Amino acid sequence: MLLAITRDVSPRFNECEITHIDRTPIDIDIAQSQHHGYVQALKELGCAVLELPAEAELPDSVFVEDTAVVLPEVALITRPGADSRKPETESITRALHPYRELLFIQAPATVDGGDVLVVGKNIYVGMSTRSNQAAVDQMNNLLNKYGYIAQGVELHDCLHLKTAVTRVDDRTLLINRRWVDVENFEGFELIDVDESEPFAGNGLPIADSIIFPVEFPKTTAKLEARGYKIKPVVVGELAKAEGAVTCCSLIVA
């Protein structure tokens, strides 16, 4: 059974970090309700969910993906790029300890898990305002013995690599090629987001389905036309904090 680690929405969610979109007011009650719907979707797809309590003093802490990269062999505890987010790793370290050997990214490296796309033994790291080359170098040093190869990927006008591209399966990626160059992903089949839905490049494959926002119906239709089964979720309020469906869980296989 897959384990999904999630964390409830902070009551200070309106104070979240914003980088590439305009700040708009967030309704905390709606955000919490949407997050509960997301957790329910994970459960309906067969995940056991470890629901961590909200961190009242950490506005962005619902986005647990940024604190760790979970691999079959080990888990890598990140060092988030925003100083306000660095304390988020403490509770995730405790939560992951029973399930994986833990490795740690150290200063001067910074990396958000949202910048880390793992496909097979390939690790792509977005060179964003949150993640740097020192993190790529540390990943290669820490993970080389397990057969992983990490490489940096340049981004354009988006927060994280997984804002622009995510794994659909081990052969296929969902991508907004305006925000990341396709030359980085030679050998993969690429499904382009609909041009009217630039933020639709983020989906979360679980079991035989893809958790995907209802806000992007045209890209949903593209995925369904390719035979993929969609598990719809509503995440519009979470998206006001530059969040997406991969952001809100850590999946431990």
Number of domains in the chain: 1
pLDDT tens, position by position, 156-173 = 999 999 999 999 999 999
Sheet holding 204-206, edge to edge: 204-206, 209-213, 229-233
Alpha carbon dihedral 76, 44, 203, 196, in 10-degree steps, equals -150
Q: How confident is the model at residue 154 (pLDDT cuts 50, 70, 90)?
A: very high
Task: State both tokens at 70.
Answer: 């979970």
Identify the pLDDT of residue 21. 94
Residue 78 neighbours by CB under 8 Å, 6+ apart? 66, 67, 68, 69, 89, 105, 111, 112, 113, 116, 135
pLDDT band at 52 (very low <50, low <70, confident <90, very high): very high
Q: Quote the Cα angle for 145-160-26, to 5°.
A: 135
pLDDT band at 3, cuts 50/70/90?
Answer: very high
Please give the share of the chain, as a percent, with pLDDT higher than 70: 100
Domain with 149, as residue range(s), is: 3-252
The C-alpha angle 55, 11, 46, rounded to 5 degrees, equals: 65
pLDDT the model gives residue 24:
97
**Catalytic residue flag (residue 247):** yes
Residue 45 has what pLDDT? 98
Q: What is the CATH number of the domain that holds 198?
A: 3.75.10.10
Q: Which of 35, 158, 160, 248 is catalytic?
A: 160
Burial bucket for residue 181 (CB in 10 Å: 0-12, 13-18, 19+): middle
Q: pLDDT tens, 5-39?
A: 999 999 999 999 999 999 999 999 999 999 999 99
Task: Provide the pLDDT for residue 20.
Answer: 92
Q: In the prediction, which pLDDT does 112 show?
A: 98
pLDDT mean over 124-152: 98
Q: Are strands 74-77 and 68-70 parallel, antiparallel or unpaired?
A: antiparallel
Q: Which residues neighbour 14 within 8 Å (Cβ) at sequence distance 6 or greater? A: 25, 26, 28, 59
Q: What is the percent of the chain where pLDDT is above 90?
A: 100
Distance of CA 14 to the CA centre of its chain: 20
pLDDT at 150: 98
As a whole number, mean pLDDT of residues 103-122 equals 98
Is residue 160 flagged as an active site residue? yes
Q: What is the mean pLDDT of residues 143-167?
A: 97
